[in-house]
Structure 1
Amino acid sequence: MLLTDDDHVALVFPPGEVVMLEPLEAGRLRAVLRDAVFALDNQADRDGYQQAVPAVEARA
């Protein structure tokens, strides 16, 4: 995770893919990740847990 000078959060995924997030989008991603961690702690939730994070593909 990298913080940019213009208040965006950049997450770098292998193999070198980059996603730029607005502050609200970063908060939504954080919430999804937190929910996933809690779901992993509960076997009943683990088997049925699915979450999608909307993504927009951009090319430079």
Structure 2
Amino acid sequence: MGADQKAQAKTDQAKGKVKETAGRAVGNERLVAEGRADQTKGDAREAKEKTKDAFKN
């Protein structure tokens, strides 16, 4: 399950970056904000998984 969560974290980060970039390109602040939120969500999920891995070892 850990690998799935790590992959989902990377997906959220990438999706967020694309949204943020697209939002900036068209001047859509809502899309920029959604992109940042997705990236933050991915960062938090990644940090959680890294913490879990640290305690396993």
If the length of structure 2 is used for normalisation, what is the TM-score?
Answer: 0.48
Whichever structure has more strand as a proportion of its residues is 1
Tell which has more relative contact order, 1 or 2 (C-alpha 8 A, sep 6+): 2
If the length of structure 1 is used for normalisation, what is the TM-score?
Answer: 0.46
Whichever structure has more helix as a proportion of its residues is 2
